[in-house]
């Protein structure tokens, strides 16, 4: 989807049908463009690029969103993994849960928001979010769902490691779908050291959720 279309959709409290187009430029493409511009135009271009690079931060400030959900990706994940009921942990504004619900899945969204006291996250919910930390939610609902969706876990503290340890103790493990950046903006170094990633995501799914900025956000199956 185009930049303006995504913002219009979010302003209506709806979920985009498709992923936002890539907002970045290749280095060679940018250098070629600069050669044809005046100094004033290059300055304006620099301002524009800074705005595009900070679009994810804009989403967090104005919509309480760090990850931008789209219905096509949710539908592809549902079909590929044959999903029907899910648990969303650290849900924030529960946009991922709402995406799966729109695709026909039963969703329980949970978050105690202990990790997000200074942003709009949790203030503009897409679904009702039960006040519950991730481990408590896992223990209460893991036997009632066939997948868990976990998006943009903080890159500080140890909540992600503790959650992974509790998940591994389950006798029956729902598919654990995680949204984030491998060894980057999300989760802690300790988590990435211990996590095992399974290559179950198809090229079609990856393409439907290609990152729109410099953060290499992707969908991972974790165990």
DSSP assignment of 82-138 equals T--EEEEES-TT-HHHHHHHHTT-EEEEE---TT-SSSSTTTS-SS-EE---HHHHH
Which of the four pLDDT bands, split at 50, 70 and 90, describes residue 120? low
Buried b (16+ CB within 10 A) or exposed e, 112-149: bbebbeeebbbebbbbebbebbbeebbeebbeebbbbb
pLDDT at 108 over 90: yes
CA angle (80, 162, 223) in 5-degree steps: 30
Maximum mean pLDDT: which of 35-44, 53-62, 199-208: 199-208
| Separation in Å, CA 2 to CA 5, 6, 16, 22, 84 | 5, 6, 10, 9, 30
CB of 198 within 8 A of CB of 222? yes
Q: What is the mean pLDDT of residues 46-63?
A: 80
Q: What is the value of pTM for the model shown?
A: 0.89
* Contacts for 117 with CB less than 8 Å, ≥ 6 apart: none
- Dump pLDDT digits (tens) for 127-170: 999 999 999 999 999 999 999 999 999 999 999 999 999 999 99
Domains of the chain by start residue, with CATH: 1-223 (3.40.50)
């Amino acid at each position: 989807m185009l930049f303006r279309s995504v913002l219009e959709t979010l302003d209506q409290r709806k979920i985009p049908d498709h992923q936002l187009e890539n907002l970045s430029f290749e280095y060679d493409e940018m250098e070629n463009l600069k050669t044809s511009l005046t100094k004033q135009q290059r300055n304006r271009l620099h301002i524009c690029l800074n705005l595009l690079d900070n679009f994810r931060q804009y989403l967090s400030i104005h919509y309480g969103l760090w990850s931008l959900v789209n219905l096509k990706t949710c539908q592809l994940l549902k079909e590929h993994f044959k999903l029907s009921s899910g648990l969303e942990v650290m849900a924030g504004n529960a946009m991922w849960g709402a995406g799966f619900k729109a695709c026909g899945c039963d969703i329980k969204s949970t978050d105690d928001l202990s990790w997000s006291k200074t942003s709009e996250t949790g203030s503009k919910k897409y679904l009702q979010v039960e006040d519950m930390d991730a481990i408590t939610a896992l223990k209460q609902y893991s036997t009632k769902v066939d997948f868990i969706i976990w998006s943009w876990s903080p890159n500080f503290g140890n909540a992600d490691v503790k959650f992974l340890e509790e998940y591994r103790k389950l006798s029956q493990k729902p598919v654990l779908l995680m949204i984030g950046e491998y060894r980057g903006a999300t989760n802690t170094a300790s988590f990435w050291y211990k996590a095992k990633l399974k290559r179950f995501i198809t090229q079609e799914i990856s393409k439907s959720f290609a990152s729109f900025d410099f953060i290499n956000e992707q969908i991972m199956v974790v165990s």
